[in-house]
Chain A
């Protein structure tokens, strides 16, 4: 057992003692009895108002009409009802794919990297982030299938034994993509599931009826013995380490869809890390938005999710925003410096074309807004402020993908074919995808404990406040 002492905030507030102040600020120093905390999480799960169901019905209707209805119509009519044309053979569907994979990134990033580095502030919201990964990937996968001309034959992308001995083409970046996304979906779902087992077991012991039956299956008979914990910890450690390279590979491979092509503006060697950082940028924005919504709408969440968490994620967002700006500059500079005629034409079109406002808006909200707001501790600890920053960053990252896919496709080496892209049925389908994500998240929040209670309890056991003379010292012991 190692003991590390770390200083925490020292700003004394009014008459409150320093110790009380620390307890109010930090969840880890503000322990509650186990039973009470378990009940709080159970209550948050069970407590639903008519407003919740109204939103569920509304989202369900949007999914039904916007997603399933429009998709069915598009399958029957062909992609002509969408906005894709020559030369923009790829449109918003691919923008959505890249966007949702980006969203899914932050879940694993927060959970796995912060777990590996033992960042204590991660504890209450790892699950909220991991859920985003799984549900985001579902939207990304759906968007790829929407994009295909003959989606009913999509199983041909899978390597399966068939009479003709036909295999998918492993030279194609799309085949790599399929493998990478499938791996990531499976790995992240398992990684979501493992830390969930003790919480589901907790819920099983406190439920009745169909819920009990469902939790019983999901908990895999977990009873909390020492051996079970040891196995679970080993599995989680393996997954936390293993999923980090998988996460990096997925978005790099997605970027190869573009970087491996012969097109000006796409054929860039920096696209791999640029896409990874871009994914983290939008993903962190999405995490902070989800946390702000969960905190303000779900019961008992103000105890678990505190300004300190927004503060911590806000710092990460600021750093990622700087990294993104660096990679953007790097990508732009190298392409411009290369001096290729068509690349220059394209870069000029990005800034001065009919959709040039997107380029400037992207830089404004991805760089300027976070830099102007997130440096301030008070602002980045305020949920509604960071919610807006997160929303703007996601808007900016969507624009970035929009610039990379349909706008960059407008310019190619055959000026005779240059033509603008106008989205058609992509708009209801995109709204439907977003609605499906929110709907899945809302329903999941009512079915599985959104707060990993055992992880919070473990953290609270590890933290303690000690007095050395007048000095209050917070110490964290490593339990594992």
Chain B
């Protein structure tokens, strides 16, 4: 195990540059993605994400932690499509959302090297969302009702958020913790592929691969070594942990 860096102290930025590799990472193959949105649905189920309804969603208030971006060029019928791009929190190593929160609701987890949102600490200034270059943070604009029968399906491992709170993808930290607890009870390390976040689990095309970046033998590390992946807005120095593969 590498030494842990506490990113909530002054001078941490220099330390991160050396730790740029990260702990947990994801590879998304856009050539395999069919844009079916199964990951989006699975994410919403797993993480108790509220349904905002048609009107609010149309006004840019959907709460999905993951979205499938799709662009096209030209006029119908000569339309050139870009590959589908599932966009989620990139779990930046040097995250712009973290320093701007006045109450430490947006913090870095030194143990898991992930960006966490402490829901019950959030006061809703929404600065983190403005400062996120990926625009993946979502805000609870209201207390949303769950329509029947969705009010009967809640994940007991995840907090239900109320109005006025920022939320975002956690890489399904409840599953990470669950797997780590199970592994430590058996006195071993978590094995690669032992568990996956909801989106990776649900993807019918296996376009999403999740695992340890600091384990050179893991599938994610192996895929990253293929060198043809891109990281979103890497030029900003955010050190994103998600790599995208797209046709060459």
**Interface residues, chain A, with chain B CB atoms under 8 Å away:** 77-81, 84-90, 147-151, 153-154, 156-157, 166-169, 171-175, 178, 257, 260-263, 409, 412-417, 419
Contact = CB atoms under 8 A, between A and B. Distances in A.
Contacts, number: 137
B124 to A, nearest CB: 2
Given A78-B163, A84-B141, A172-B102, A149 B131 contact: no
A257 B130 CA distance: 11
Contact of B134 (A81, A89, A414): A414
Given A80-B56, A261-B131, A262-B133, 9 more contacts: A85-B59, A148-B124, A150-B124, A172-B127, A173-B100, A261-B127, A261-B130, A263-B133, A416-B69
Given A157-B103, A175-B102, A147 B125 contact: yes
> Which of B56, B102, B139 counts the most chain A CB atoms within 10 A?
B102
A419 B135 CA distance: 12
B141 A174 contact: no
A417 B60 contact: yes
A413 to B, nearest CB: 5
B56 A153 contact: no
A261 B125 contact: no
B98 to A, nearest CB: 8
Interface of B: 10, 56, 59-61, 67, 69-71, 87, 96, 99-104, 121-127, 129-131, 133-135, 138-143, 163-166, 233, 236
Given A78-B163, A169-B102, A412-B133, A86 B61 contact: yes
Contact of B123 (A148, A409, A417): A148
A77 B123 contact: no
Main secondary structure of the interface of B (DSSP, over half): loop
B142 A157 contact: no
Contacts of A154: 123
Contacts of B56: 80
A80 B142 contact: yes
A149 B102 contact: no
Contact of B163 (A149, A156, A417): A149
A414 B124 contact: no
A78 B143 contact: yes
Nearest to A174: B102
Given A79-B141, A89-B129, A149 B122 contact: yes
A156 B118 CA distance: 14
A457 B152 CA distance: 77
B131 A174 contact: no
Main secondary structure of the interface of A (DSSP, over half): loop
A454 B142 CA distance: 55
A77 B142 contact: yes
A131 to B, nearest CB: 30
Nearest to B100: A172
Nearest to A171: B99
A153 B165 CA distance: 11
A172 B101 contact: yes
- Give 7 nearest A-B pairs by CB, closest first: A149-B124, A149-B164, A78-B163, A80-B141, A80-B142, A85-B60, A150-B164
B101 to A, nearest CB: 6
Nearest to A262: B96
B61 A174 contact: no
Given A89-B130, A415-B71, A78 B141 contact: yes
Nearest to A416: B69
A49 B83 CA distance: 71
B102 A178 contact: yes
Nearest to B120: A153
